[in-house]
Amino acid sequence: MKRKIIQINKDACVGCGVCADTCHQSTIEIVDGKAVVMHEAACDGIGNCLPVCPVGAISFSEKDIIEDQVVTDDTTVTVSVL
Ligand code: SF4
């Protein structure tokens, strides 16, 4: 299934970390001074991080994602695999 997630232009990123603070899924981290989407499948595609980036380094892209459900003792977790 294709769905919208964010992509980060590493050349433009200045590593301020504002996007990581804004991400509801806590899936953006600063690695070696640049923002990285650690788990692309966790991106909700809402894009709260886009308007906060001071250099416009974040945009949307479309990727194929396969989603499966993993059931543990008391929790059902949806896992997305790219
Ligand atoms: S808000 Fe923009 S410049 Fe700041 S870390 Fe995120 S992508 Fe990089």
pLDDT recorded at residue 69: 47
Q: Ligand 1, residue 58: give the atom nearest the CA.
A: 7
Q: Is 35 in the pocket of ligand 1 (CB under 6 A)?
A: yes
- Model pLDDT, residue 63: 87
Give the tens place of pLDDT for each residue, 16-27: 999 999 999 999
Going through 1-82 in order, the beta strands assigned E by DSSP cover 2-8, 28-31, 34-37, 58-64, 66-71, 76-81
State the distance from the centre of ligand 1 to the C-alpha of 73, rounded, in angstroms: 38
Which parts of the chain register pLDDT below 50?
69-72
Which domains are seen in the chain, by residue range? Answer: 2-81 (3.30.70.20)
Q: How far apart are the CA of 18 and the centre of ligand 1, in A? A: 6
